[in-house]
Amino acid sequence: MSKIKNQNSKIHTAGILDYGMGNLRSVGKALEAAGARVIVSDSQKKLAQSDVLVLPGQGNFGRAVSTLEKIGLMDFVKEWVVQGRPYLGICLGLQLLFERSEESPGIKGLSVMKGTVRKFRSFKSKYKIPHMGWNQAVPLKNAPVQRIVRLKEDFFYFVHSYYADPMDKSIGWTKTIHNVPFFSSVARGNMIATQFHPEKSGRQGQLFLQTLLTKYYF
């Protein structure tokens, strides 16, 4: 993976939370290529020294919550986001921000945003579940973050069977269609979360990460 020239002279540290879910190596390499110094850890002390907390992940919502609680980082992540510190959630790292998921009834998420993570209903044969592969993420013109980052409509890589349905629609940044239109990324303050995988999205994914590091977070 080629490194994109970082226009910001200061190198910031991205702390990737290691809770055993997701391809941490790919995420780390993508962030390094975008100009970040990367640490991968499940240590609250080490992660607290990061400039931006990264929560990736693929897998089951309930299992992720259970694991984060077991290693004592559930409250740490919630406090980080509530305090307005830079946060990047990828795939499951987006879904966990919400109150609940249809994947794991009765399990409470981080609840820093109101809403439910819903399962795709396959009532049109051309839309397969899981939603896997390249699809367009279309920026919403009225999204506050779009005025700063100016993300262009482009294709990103997706792997998921569930999508976030926030009560506050103003947090939506991009929309994607797979059977139904859904928010493929959300943003509020220093919190950015994507349903797509920037680390699997080639040069466009690298540019997306670099833009966050140099034009949005810092």
End-to-end CA distance of the chain: 24
- Find out whether 111 and 68 touch, Cβ atoms under 8 Å: no
HSE-CB at 51 with a 13 A cutoff on CA atoms is 16
Q: Which of 52, 54, 77, 53 is nearest to 67 (CA)?
A: 77
Q: Which residues are catalytic?
A: 91, 197, 199
Residue 54 in tokens: 């990264």
Cβ burial of 203 (10 Å; 0-12, 13-18, 19+) is exposed
